[in-house]
Amino acid sequence: MTIDREDLLNSIIESLDRIHHISLDDIPNIDLYMDQVTTFMESRLRSTTRNPVGDKILTKTMINNYAKNNLLPPPVRKKYSKEHILLLIFIYYYKGILSIGDIQTLLGPLTQKYFHTPSQELNLGTIYEEVFSLEKEEIADLQKDIEKKFAISRETFKDAPETDQEILQLFSFISMLSYDVYVKKLLIEKMIDSFKTATAKEND
């Protein structure tokens, strides 16, 4: 098996460069019907999917399930507001690593306190902007970390048969990335448990 490792690394770095969040200004200020919401999300987040041709960003069934699980407030006269779309974007990013229950724990208090409060200085829009303003710095740090792990992986299995080295080094690279995700997921889950305890005390 022959792998162009430099091409692989460049491809990964380029894919990170294509990751951009939806700007708050790009989200319509008018309420949308469900079909319009799914079309908007598809057009803005298509580049983030593994398989741009077949993967679905958001479907009517997903939206209905989010509402049933109290992740999303019900629409008003079958229309969804800008705040609904902000929550759907958060859900989209979280659902790849968190359970529905954890997402509900995380978003529930924010929805309860800040949903449909556009006149307040702090609302879902300002929270969204603050969180995603960290994106560029995070991407830059992530690129450096990936390059470091890639370099380390190329130093593994030096004594393996030459025909096996490439696949074993690729396995090392994937394993390091996977362990990083695993540890961060554990950390996130612990923090959500603390978040749940803290918000429960506030409501007592």
pLDDT in tens, 25-63: 999 999 999 999 999 999 888 878 878 777 888 999 999
From CA 178, how far away is CA 172, in angstroms rounded?
10
| Six-digit token string for 9 | 């690394």
How does pLDDT run across 88-129, given as a tens digit for each residue? Answer: 999 999 999 999 999 999 999 999 999 987 667 889 999 999
Tally of domains in the chain: 1
Domain extent, residue 142, equals 5-203
pTM of the model as a whole: 0.86
- Under 8 Å CB-to-CB from 105, ≥6 apart: which residues? 192, 195, 196, 199
Q: Residue 100 corresponds to which amino acid?
A: I
User: Do 97 and 188 touch, CB atoms closer than 8 A?
Assistant: yes
